[in-house]
Amino acid sequence: MDLHGTFHVYDTTLRDGAQQEGLNLSVADKLAIARQLDGLGVGYIEGGWPGANPKDTEFFRRAVQELDLRHAKLAAFGSTRRAGVRAADDPGIAALRDSGASVVTLVAKSHDRHVDLALRTTLEENLAMVRDTVTHLREEGQQVFLDAEHFFDGYRANRAYALEVLRTAYDAGADVVALCDTNGGMLPGWVADVVHDVIETTGVRVGIHCHNDTGCAIANTLAAVDAGATHVQGTINGYGERTGNADLVSVVANLELKLDRQVLPAGLLRDATRIAHAVAEVTNFPPASRQPYVGTSAFTHKAGLHASAIKVDPNLYQHMDPVGVGNDMRLLVSDMAGRASIELKGRELGFDLSGDKDLVTRVTNRVKAMESRGYTFEAADASFELLLVEEVEGVRPAYFDVESWRVITETLNNRGVDDEAVSEATVKLKADGVRYVVTGEGNGPVNALDQALREAIGQAYPEVAKFELIDYKVRIFDQGHGTDATTRVLIETSDGESSWVTVGVGHNVIEASWGALVDGMTFGLRRHHSA
């Protein structure tokens, strides 16, 4: 079944989602998110605006080389040609053409006043810009979608012109025209009316792009689909400017699980919770616990009152089986790790736990206890694997025995606020029977600890010279209680061939970092010693 031909699930996390206040994605972040989106099975991943800034240009260069997309096509976003220039001569269009993306999504003005005020050109020239750009890119072999910016406001202001923009794009060869509620003020009934009218009047294939300013982005998207739209745009976790874009997971879950429209490859929605959380780790925005379908609280019940009835028939108390989106029903407080997901995760790491109920119970309980202290194993596979190995083999893998450590950070030249600071760490440990006391320096405390630790165990294990700390993330909990906050650190370590993520938790950020560092070294050593 050619799902993507009949219905488009189009993700714009990397472009419109990245407009969210405080969200700042590196090229590596964008590549990591794209892999997750492909795992979810979306049809299109809008990667950014090549040519508009060096980061997006670099993303497309690397995406084309490095991403081995199984489900999604890569889409490049950009605007129509500038006024008074041939499309073929416009360097902005060249950047889209040469991006390596098979799809180009062109944003065009469809609101007459925006043409005047923002583009500063005539309504006729704007139509020509749409026509020429679509025609040119089609001739160059790319699939073209049109994002009709401010469409709903434009439709109210000048319906005839707004429709003319759509017709022009469609006649020139655009496959879809997406109606954008750019300012986000629409309600479902209005969206439905406009989509109906557009389809009836123009016959174009309609897509929908909603923002959540009225709290109705998801419902507006569904209303458009009900009225005939066959292309939905949104972002993972609803990231986006202002109140965000339509949360693509909720839109898809509603379509598949409530409205019986299969829009992703079968079965992939069952990974939605894991993927939504993995993306949240990359963005470094804490996942919203109340998020529909994938939030950690989404299927949580205060079981007290109805526990027995829940046991008899859980479906009396939940609107769907959470397995459908990879989430879990939770009773009482505690975490999201149920036995089933522990088993699943074990299998993923190469451990078959299905035969040992006690073991699964032990691991589940320990994960729950640790997650309640602030650990997360969702993103820290390596720390989870160490925990699993410890429970399976009865002893935690250890290649060295730490006695103590200390870090000093101070200003370099005593010039005060603008001065650079340096760190010095001393680590005392035993490795392979020998005691080492090593001092390392670094431009940060974690870096200094990493240097000292690496040098201290390097005598016994020369392979650690290849290990490199390649990513470091910090999250603080219990904000509002600054001094008692819990800190979680995620560290990614690479050996040049692959990388692994470990987690550390503590009241002290350095203590949390140390835990993650030690796990990172231990995991790497174990892998090399068992290879």
- Interface residues for its own copies in 81-120 (CB under 8 A)? 111, 113-114, 117-118
Residue 122 engages its own copies in binding (rule: CB under 8 A): no
Q: 6, 66, 193, 309: which one contacts its own copies (CB under 8 A)?
A: 309
Considering the complex, what minimum distance in angstroms separates the CB of residue 154 from its own copies?
10
Select 88 or 398, whichever has its Cβ closest to its own copies: 398
Taking CB under 8 A as the binding criterion, the range among 5-13, 38-46, 354-362, 405-413 that sits at the site for its own copies is 405-413
Residue 521 engages its own copies in binding (rule: CB under 8 A): no
CA distance 313 to 318: 10
Select 369 or 470, whichever has its Cβ closest to its own copies: 470
Taking CB under 8 A as the binding criterion, the range among 35-43, 60-68, 340-348, 505-513 that sits at the site for its own copies is 505-513
Instruction: Tell me the three-class secondary structure of 474-517, residue by residue.
Output: EEECCCCCHHHCCEEEEEEEECCCCEEEEEEEECCHHHHHHHHH
Residue closest to 33 by CA, chosen among 322, 284, 380: 284
Q: How does 30-60 read in b/e, with b if 16+ C-beta sit within 10 Å?
A: bbbbbbbbbbbbbbbbbbbbbbbeebbbebb
Taking CB under 8 A as the binding criterion, the range among 33-41, 69-77, 357-365, 506-514 that sits at the site for its own copies is 506-514
> 16 to 55, contacts with its own copies by CB under 8 A?
19-22, 24, 26, 28
CA distance 177 to 12: 15
Residue 125 engages its own copies in binding (rule: CB under 8 A): no
Considering the complex, what minimum distance in angstroms separates the CB of residue 92 from its own copies?
13
> 202 to 241, contacts with its own copies by CB under 8 A?
212-216, 218-220, 222-223, 226, 238, 240-241
Residue 502 engages its own copies in binding (rule: CB under 8 A): no
Count the residues of the shown chain that bind its own copies, applying the rule CB under 8 A.
130
Question: End-to-end distance of the chain based on CA atoms, in angstroms?
Answer: 42
**401's tokens:** 């025995």
Select 102 or 477, whichever has its Cβ closest to its own copies: 477
Q: 298, 389, 452, 505: which one contacts its own copies (CB under 8 A)?
A: 298
CB 489 within 8 A of CB 516: yes
CA distance 310 to 322: 14
Q: Is the dihedral angle over the CA atoms 57, 59, 61, 64 positive or is it negative?
A: negative
CA distance 511 to 489: 9
How many C-beta atoms lie closer than 10 Å to residue 321's C-beta?
13
> 428 to 467, contacts with its own copies by CB under 8 A?
428-429, 442-447, 450
CA distance 397 to 388: 10
Select 71 or 150, whichever has its Cβ closest to its own copies: 150
CA distance 169 to 161: 13
Taking CB under 8 A as the binding criterion, the range among 2-10, 62-70, 404-412, 456-464 that sits at the site for its own copies is 404-412
> 327 to 346, contacts with its own copies by CB under 8 A?
332-333
